[in-house]
Amino acid sequence: MIQKITFTEDLENILKKMESNCYDGMTLRKQIRELQEEQTPQVVTQAPAPTKPHFEIPKAEEVGEDDELNAYIEEYRKTSFEDMNTFIELLPDSDDHQYERIILRLQAESIREIKEIIEMMEKEDKTSRGIFEEFLKNEQKKLAKLKKLLQEEEKKEEKQTNHNTIILVPNKSGKIRIFDEIEDIPSDFYEEIYELIVSIINGKFKRRKRFNIGSNAALGSVSEVRGNKVRVLYQRLAQDVYAIYSVFLKKTSNARGYRSLLLNRVGDYKEVEESIKKNIENGEFLEANDQYVEELWNKLGYSEAAKIYRKGRKDV
C-alpha cells in the first residue's frame, strides 16, 4: 500500500492560489503514458535522462503577465531536479513584482503533479512502480527547492530596514518635472501616488517592473512602480539613492504607444542624469531636494510625511 503524503497547510494554501486557466495534459503524464505503452514485462527503475531547459521568456512589452507566467510553467514542467539551478537562473530577479507569484504557481504545479503520480502508483502492481517512484522523488525535490527559494527571500526581507533617499529630478530649466505632472492628475489618485513613492523610500517597491526591451538600451534601464493606473518612473543612482523622474496615469494598453511614452520620459531624464549624479553627496543639493520632497508631500496632502522622511534619512 502506498503511504499517503500529508501536505502541510502552507502548501495547501498555494493550491488555492492556482489560476483557473491552468494548462491540461502535463508533460510528465505524457512521458509516463508513453513509457507504459513501450514497457515490456520488466521493472523500469530510472526516469528518462534529463534535458536542460532552453526557452525564451516573452518580452514584457509584447505580452501580458499571464503569458509570461505560463511560459515559466511550461518550462518548469520539462525541467528535472538536476537542471533546477539552470531553470532558476531564468527566473526574474527576486525583487521583481512577479517573482513570488511565479514561485507559488510553480509550487502548486508540483503539488498537483505529486498527487497525480501517487494516484497512478496506487493503480499499479509492485513490479511496475519503479518509474513512478523516480518521477515522484524528482518532483518532491523540485518542490523543496522552490520552497527554499521563498524562505531565503523572507529571511532577506526580515534583515532589511531600508530608508532610501529619493531625488526629485528637475528638467533642464530647473523645475521639478513631477510637480507639473501631478497638477495634471486628478486628486483622486494622490493617495496612490504617495503610496508608490513611499514604497521606493522603504525599499518595498510596490509592483516593481524593470523593462528589458531587447536592443533598446534606453528602455533597458527603465524601472517603474505601479498602482492601478498610476506609474512612477525611477532610476537607482547609488546605494539607497533613487531618482524619481516621472509620475503619470497609464492611459493606453498599446505596447508601441507605451514604449514611445517611456522613451520620451527617459530621454528627458538622461539629459540631466549626469548632473544629478555629481550632486548626490552635495549637502546644499540634498537640502534643496528635502524642501522639494516636503513640497511634494504637501501637494499630495501628506504634510506630516516630510518629518518622517527627514528623520529616516541616513545622511541627515
On whether both 184 and 270 belong to a single domain, the answer is yes
Task: Write down which residue in 126, 159, 192 finishes a domain.
Answer: 159
Please check whether residues 222 and 296 belong to one and the same domain: yes
In angstroms, the Cα distances linking 235 to 106, 161, 222, 251, 315 are: 31, 20, 7, 22, 19
Residue 1: inside a domain: no
Are 70 and 18 in a shared domain? yes
In-domain check, residue 30 = yes
Give SS3 for 237.
strand
- 259 and 220 housed in the same domain: yes
- What is the mean predicted confidence (pLDDT) over 281-292? 91
| Alpha-carbon gap, residue 165 to 279, rounded angstroms | 13
pLDDT over threshold 50, residue 203: yes
The reported pLDDT for the residue numbered 76 is 93
Same domain, 139 and 183: no
Is the domain of 94 the same as that of 170?
no
Across 5-14, 25-34, 305-314, the highest mean pLDDT is recorded for: 305-314
Q: Quick check: is 4 in a domain?
A: no
Pair (29, 120) in one structural domain: yes
User: Which residues form the domain of 187?
Assistant: 165-312
What per-residue confidence (pLDDT) applies to 58? 44
Kindly state whether residue 111 falls inside one of the protein's structural domains: yes
Q: Mean pLDDT score of the chain, rounded to an integer?
A: 75
Show which of 136, 159, 182 is a domain's final residue: 159
Single residue among 159, 176, 205 that ends a domain in this structure: 159
Is 3 part of a structural domain of the chain?
A: no
Judge if 175 and 109 occupy the same domain.
no
CA dist 15 and 112 (Å) reads 8
Residue 44: left (phi > 0), alpha (psi -120 to 50), or beta?
beta
**How far apart, in whole angstroms, are the C-alpha atoms of residue 165 and residue 159?**
19
Write the pLDDT tens digit of every residue in 142-151: 999 999 988 8
Contacts 24+ apart (CB under 8 A), 34-43: 35/131, 36/128, 39/128, 43/127, 43/128, 43/130
The number of domains in the chain is 2
Q: Are 214 and 153 contained in the same domain? A: no
Does the pLDDT value for residue 19 go beyond 60? no
Is residue 146 included in any domain, yes or no? yes
Instruction: Say yes or no: 260 and 133 in one domain.
Output: no
Report if residue 127 sits inside a domain: yes
Q: What is the pTM of this model?
A: 0.50
Residue 201 domain-assigned (yes or no): yes
H helices within the chain, ranges in order? Answer: 9-16, 27-38, 65-77, 84-90, 99-122, 130-159, 177-183, 190-201, 217-220, 255-279, 283-300, 305-312
228: CATH = 3.30.2310.20
Residues 97, 28, single domain; the answer is yes
One domain for residues 132 and 232:
no
